[in-house]
Amino acid sequence: MKVFIVHAHPEPRSFSAALKSVALEELRHQGHEVQVSDLYAMKFNPVASAEDFGVRANPDYCTYALEQRQGMQTGTIAADIQAELEKLLWCDLLILNFPVFWFSTPAILKGWIDRVLVSGTVYGGKRFYDRGGLRGKRALVSLTLGGQEHMFGESGIHGPLKDMLRHLLQGTLAYTGMGVLEPFVGWHIPYVSDDQRRHVLEAWRTRLQSLSCEEALLRFPSLSEYDERLYPRASQQLLAET
């Protein structure tokens, strides 16, 4: 299996970095090929701008998605985007590893998504969900946060964690065609003991040992459930019967 880990934490000695290191060690030990992009260490540029394109489709007005297509067609898209896209297209499994910042990803990871998931290659038109450009690949999110698990249940003060991460799990990973695995979560990490952190790392290692055969995916829409205008087929059938 070919695995691409995208790691986004500003502190090299963080627990998030430890999760990344365990994943790299364990997956290579299993014989998998692994590439890592440590975004902060790389000083990855998270800002999507007109400067990402050497040849512009429209020099007077930047429609970013259209310029992405032009840049890919002409081979003039920024070199750092091209390098990350090649890793993404190479992999069978994408792991996004990060701490939760403000119910979301760190800005540097959001910028990686904005710049690297290029229109025309990864998505575009009706090439989304199970028809997306990354279909056949799988994605796994490993994250840490300060909150406790009971705070993120159905009746928890913050609501379900998957709802908080919908923009990423559905709006990014599933939208581009990837099969999305259940996230791995390190709860309350800044406030637990070293022994508890070691337990989390061992749980992560155990999860990694079963990834090759893990088949349970989160449920997201399929275009087969919708007509050409993207109305639900079930509702169309219901209308026809009334």
Least confident of 5-14, 28-37, 120-129, 208-217: 208-217
Domain around 178: 2-217
Average pLDDT, the chain: 94
Nearest to 105 by CA among 23, 9, 225, 187: 9
Residues facing residue 139 across a β-bridge: 94, 180
Q: Is residue 227 part of a domain?
A: no
| Number of folded domains that form the chain | 1
Q: Is residue 28 part of a domain?
A: yes
Per-residue confidence band for 240, with pLDDT thresholds at 50, 70 and 90 = low
Q: Rounded to an integer, what is the distance from CA 215 to the centroid of its chain? A: 18
pLDDT at 238 over 90: no
Q: Is residue 232 part of a domain?
A: no
Q: Is 79 exposed, middle or buried (0-12, 13-18, 19+ CB in 10 A)?
A: exposed
Instruction: Give the H or E element holding residue 65.
Output: helix 64-74
Write the pLDDT tens digit of every residue in 51-95.
Answer: 999 999 999 999 999 999 999 999 999 999 999 999 999 999 999
Q: What is the CATH number of the domain that holds 96?
A: 3.40.50.360
Average pLDDT over residues 15-27: 98
Q: Is residue 75 part of a domain?
A: yes
Instruction: Judge whether 3 and 87 are in contact, CB under 8 Å.
Output: no
Tokens 């087929």: give the residue: 233
Write the pLDDT tens digit of every residue in 187-224.
Answer: 999 999 999 999 999 999 999 999 888 888 999 999 99
Q: CB within 8 A of 79, min separation 6: which ones?
A: none
The pLDDT assigned to 144 comes to 97
Q: CB within 8 A of 215, min separation 6: which ones?
A: none
The pLDDT assigned to 215 comes to 83
Average pLDDT over residues 227-241: 73
Average pLDDT over residues 12-17: 97
Q: Is residue 143 part of a domain?
A: yes
Question: DSSP character for 169?
Answer: I
Residue type (1 letter), 103: F
The pLDDT assigned to 138 comes to 97
Instruction: Give the H or E element holding residue 35.
Output: strand 33-38
Per-residue confidence band for 236, with pLDDT thresholds at 50, 70 and 90 = low
Task: Give the integer Cα–Cα distance in Å for 113 and 165.
Answer: 14
Q: How many CA atoms lie within 13 A of 79 on its CB side?
A: 0
Q: Is residue 229 part of a domain?
A: no
pLDDT at 241 over 60: no
Task: Map residue 56 onto helix, strand or coil.
Answer: coil
- Residue 33: both structure tokens together: 């090929």
Q: Is residue 83 part of a domain?
A: yes
Q: Is residue 235 part of a domain?
A: no
Task: Give the integer Cα–Cα distance in Å for 117 and 101.
Answer: 21
Task: Give the integer Cα–Cα distance in Å for 61 and 6.
Answer: 31
Average pLDDT over residues 161-171: 95
